[in-house]
Amino acid sequence: MTTRTFSSVIVGTVIGVGPGQWNTPHGDLPGSASDITPLNVMRLLRIEVHQEVTGPQRTEMVRTVWVYGGTIGCHAFSYGGHEIVIEPGQRHVFFLGFATPETGLVDVQLVDQMWSIDEHDDVSTPLDGDIPCGLSSTASTPPPATAPTRGRQYTCDG
């Protein structure tokens, strides 16, 4: 049995999703293309916090967090079961870890796991399926905010 430790657990709504970017000290491609793993790619998310379940109670109602994986150019990278498509308006339970991004960004926590919350306030868990959690679904969602980025932006050629 594996035990995981999280720095905090929050319930919130995604209000902004940054593009995939290199998770390297200078925001550049790591070595050669054959050396790339999903750990070399990250995205920043802006989360409207509805509830602090565990961990230090913070006063910010909006937090920037990060996830491994994302799309850079024509290549998509996924890691740890995180969805490739994360969109504003989605509600989740976020399990935040201790790792910091290689980019040098500070005060952003790693999303180690995230469980979707549906319109009936059921939480979709990886082992136990859907669990009713009784969360209020009346949370307001402000207009999407752009998450900060670092490094180069890449596009697919036609």
The strand pair at 109-117 and 62-68 is best described as parallel
Nearest Cα to Cα of residue 110 among 39, 34, 24: 39
pTM: 0.76
**pLDDT band, residue 47 (cuts 50/70/90):** very high
Please report, for the chain, the start and end positions of each structural domain, with discontinuous segments joined by +: 8-132
The pLDDT tens digits for 62-118 are: 999 999 988 888 878 887 666 678 999 999 999 999 888 988 888 899 999 899 999
What residues have CB less than 8 Å from 113, skipping those under 6 apart? Answer: 4, 6, 80, 81, 94, 95, 126
Residue 69 φ then ψ, to 5°? 95, 170
